[in-house]
């Protein structure tokens, strides 16, 4: 895959920055195996729930290098579910700066107040590098951001450490990512760090350490539906589906208190195949004006084979303006499954018009296929020519383009 440098629009250090960075993980450059170009599009589909979240790669265990796949999904889960810790550092850190050094080489203090702008600039540059697949550059940028620290550790430094670990993993430095998460754990015993480190251990085929980290994460944060969901998703990808379901059953023992709780319970019921209970829970979330629940409701009806109802809820979520590029891609893929290629193209176009589209390559591929299936070979060829300029190293796309030239 071609590298495009680290250019990108500046994003606020608050709010939407999280989904931007977390979603970029789903690009998974180099992960999808060489299969037919059209099939490779299907393999990069991201589902939000078994319906697994928009972060799950379909059929990963056989078609994707297992280690990278699972952790990449994990990042997505954490990015969206746990907001990558902007991910977000818990409130107790927001107003507090502690003068503790994480570990040798993690945070090096030097500077003054003037360093703050440099730190933010390096951080943003690292985010842009992740989005564009320049992972080594991202690691370097995040370390330089940490180098601007004045020897104190606060929410910003922890946030950058999470980003650095993510970039390290994607760059192939798995052990470095483990070291970074371990440093965070040594500092504040954070459940997210335990969970993410556990996923890396699974990627390294060390399920014992992975399970130990998952259990510790839940002991630190045992009332978080999304953490249970994340553990289930990881275990199911490694052939431990029955054990994973135990975590879902435990999650259902929690008492729903908020609209988000009902939404998460709806997702769990969907994963367990109890669609009627899923619909009941999601309806409660929707009645409480939680727009996101429409997306999951659309997936439930899709699983039930009720395409009209599925489309109705997907449309509501689309109209809300809250859908990100991964969700829009998923909804487009659902329309392709039902043969609604024009509608699918609309979803893909909406995704590509967003400010942040870290999965641009996958969406563009899917849209080209949709044009092909709709019989609009001229547009498919034109879009493919643009695609080849952006991604000249995609050999499967080059073969597909040769096919389009014959149409």
| Contact (Cβ atoms closer than 8 angstroms) between residue 242 and residue 271 | no
Q: Rounded CA gap, 220 and 216, in Å?
A: 6
Phi and psi based region of residue 172 (left: phi greater than 0; alpha: psi -120 to 50; beta: remaining): left
| Contact (Cβ atoms closer than 8 angstroms) between residue 255 and residue 282 | no
Task: Tell me if 84 is assigned to some domain.
Answer: yes
Helix (H) or strand (E) holding 214: helix 207-220
Angle between helices 174-188 and 155-171 (to 10 degrees): 160
Task: Tell me if 164 is assigned to some domain.
Answer: yes
Around 74, how many Cα atoms within 13 Å sit in the side-chain half-sphere? 32
pLDDT at 132: 77
Task: Tell me if 387 is assigned to some domain.
Answer: no
Phi and psi at residue 346, to the nearest 5° = -60, -45
Helix (H) or strand (E) holding 380: helix 377-390
- Of 263, 205, 202, 206, the C-alpha closest to 232 is 202
Task: Tell me if 199 is assigned to some domain.
Answer: yes
Task: Tell me if 90 is assigned to some domain.
Answer: yes
Overall number of domains in the chain: 1
Helix (H) or strand (E) holding 47: strand 46-49
State the residue range of the domain holding 105.
Answer: 1-28+64-207
Q: Which residues of the chain have pLDDT under 70?
A: 1-115, 150-151
Task: Tell me if 358 is assigned to some domain.
Answer: no
pLDDT at 115: 65
In order of 44, 76, 79, 118, the CA distances from 26 in angstroms are 8, 6, 10, 28
pLDDT at 107: 40
Structure tokens at 200: 């890396």
Predicted TM-score of the model (pTM): 0.67
pLDDT at 114: 60
In order of 112, 220, 299, 339, 391, the CA distances from 73 in angstroms are 38, 22, 18, 27, 23
Q: Rounded CA gap, 196 and 191, in Å?
A: 9
Task: Tell me if 260 is assigned to some domain.
Answer: no
Task: Tell me if 278 is assigned to some domain.
Answer: no
Dihedral (Cα; 367, 372, 375, 379), 10-degree rounding: 60
Q: Rounded CA gap, 176 and 106, in Å?
A: 11
CATH of residue 23: 1.25.40.10
């Amino acid at each position: 895959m071609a590298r495009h440098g680290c250019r990108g629009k500046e994003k606020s250090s608050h709010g939407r920055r999280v989904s931007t960075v977390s979603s970029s993980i789903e690009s998974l450059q180099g992960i999808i195996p060489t299969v037919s170009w059209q099939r490779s599009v299907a393999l990069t589909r991201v589902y939000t729930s078994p319906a697994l979240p928009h972060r799950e790669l379909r059929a990963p265990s056989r078609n994707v290098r297992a280690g990278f796949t699972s952790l990449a999904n994990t990042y997505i889960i954490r990015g969206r579910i746990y907001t990558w810790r902007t991910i977000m550092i818990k409130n107790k850190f927001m107003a507090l700066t502690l003068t503790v050094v994480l570990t040798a080489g993690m945070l090096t203090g030097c500077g003054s107040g003037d360093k703050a702008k440099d730190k933010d600039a390096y951080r943003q540059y690292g985010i842009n590098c992740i989005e564009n697949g320049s992972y080594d550059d991202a690691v370097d940028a995040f370390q330089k951001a940490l180098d601007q620290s004045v020897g104190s550790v606060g929410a910003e430094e922890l946030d950058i450490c999470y980003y650095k670990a993510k970039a390290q993993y994607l760059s192939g430095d798995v052990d470095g990512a483990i070291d970074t998460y371990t440093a965070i754990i040594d500092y504040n015993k954070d459940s997210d760090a335990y969970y993410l480190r556990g996923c890396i251990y699974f990627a390294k085929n060390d399920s014992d350490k992975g399970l130990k980290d998952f259990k510790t994460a839940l002991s630190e944060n045992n009332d978080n539906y999304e953490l249970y969901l994340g553990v289930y998703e990881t275990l199911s990808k490694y052939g431990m589906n029955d054990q994973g379901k135990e975590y879902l059953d435990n999650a259902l023992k929690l008492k729903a208190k908020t609209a988000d709780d009902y939404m998460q319970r709806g997702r769990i019921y969907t994963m367990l195949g109890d669609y009627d209970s899923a619909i009941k829970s999601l309806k409660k979330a929707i009645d409480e004006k939680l727009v996101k629940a429409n997306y999951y409701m659309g997936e439930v009806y899709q699983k039930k084979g009720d395409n009209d109802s599925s489309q109705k809820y997907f449309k509501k979520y689309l109209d809300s303006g809250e859908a990100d590029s991964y969700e829009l891609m998923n909804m487009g893929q659902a329309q392709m499954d039902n043969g609604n290629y024009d509608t699918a193209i609309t979803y893909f176009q909406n995704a590509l018009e967003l400010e942040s589209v870290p999965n641009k390559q996958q969406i563009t591929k899917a849209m080209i296929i949709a044009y092909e299936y709709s019989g609009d070979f001229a547009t498919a060829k034109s879009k493919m020519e643009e695609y080849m300029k952006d991604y000249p190293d995609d050999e499967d796309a080059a073969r597909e383009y040769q096919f389009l030239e014959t149409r």
